[in-house]
Amino acid sequence: MIKIGTIQELREQLRPYRHQKIGLVPTMGYLHEGHLSLVKKARETCDIIVMSIFVNPLQFGPGEDFERYPRDIARDEQLAEKEGVDILFTPSVEEMYPSPVKTTVHVKGITDTLCGASRPGHFDGVATVVSKLFHIVQPDYAFFGQKDAQQVAVIEQMVQDLNMPVDIIPCPIVREADGLAMSSRNVYLSPEEREQATVLYQSMQEAKRKIEQGESDAFRIRSLIMQKIREKKLAEIDYVEVLTYPGLEPIADIGGKRIIIALAVKFGQTRLIDNMIFNL
Site residues (CB under 6 A) for ligand PAF, limited to 96-135: 126, 129-130
Between the CA of residue 22 and those of 16, 87, 124, 128, what are the distances in Å? Answer: 11, 11, 25, 21
CB 55 within 8 Å of CB 66: yes
Q: What is residue 258's three-state secondary structure? A: strand
Instruction: Identify whether 106 is a catalytic site residue.
Output: no
> Cα–chain-centroid distance for residue 120?
16
Rounded (10°) angle between helices 122-137 and 149-161: 60
E-strand ranges in 106-156 read: 141-145
Site string for ligand PAF, 223-252 (x = CB under 6 A): ------------------------------
Name which of 275, 247, 241, 277 is nearest 259 in CA terms.
277
Q: Given the complex with ligand PAF, which of 27 and 111 has the nearer CB atom?
A: 27
Which of the stretches 9-17, 20-28, 237-245, 250-258 binds ligand PAF when contact is defined by CB under 6 A? 20-28
| Alpha carbon separation from 130 to 101, 106, 154, 173, 209 (Å, rounded) | 14, 12, 11, 20, 36
CA distances from 235 to 179, 241, 261, 277 (A): 16, 16, 18, 23
List CB contacts of 198: < 8 A, sequence separation 6 or more.
178, 179, 180
Judged by CB under 6 A, the number of residues near ligand PAF is: 10
Candidates 76, 77, 86, 148: give the one binding ligand PAF (CB under 6 A): 148
CA distance 170 to 24: 12
Which positions from 46 to 65 touch ligand PAF by CB under 6 A, shown as an x/- string? ----------x--x------
| Minimum CB distance to ligand PAF smaller for 89 or for 221 | 89
Catalytic residue among 19, 32, 35, 135: 35
Nearer to ligand PAF, 26 or 116 (CB): 26
- Does the footprint of ligand PAF cover residue 28 (CB under 6 A)? yes
Could you tell me which stretch among 6-14, 23-31, 90-98, 103-111 binds ligand PAF (CB under 6 A)?
23-31
Question: Least distance in Å: CB of 158 to ligand PAF?
Answer: 12
**Cβ 211 to ligand PAF shortest distance, Å:** 28
List contacts with ligand PAF (CB under 6 A). Answer: 26-28, 56, 59, 126, 129-130, 148, 151
Residues assigned a catalytic role: 35
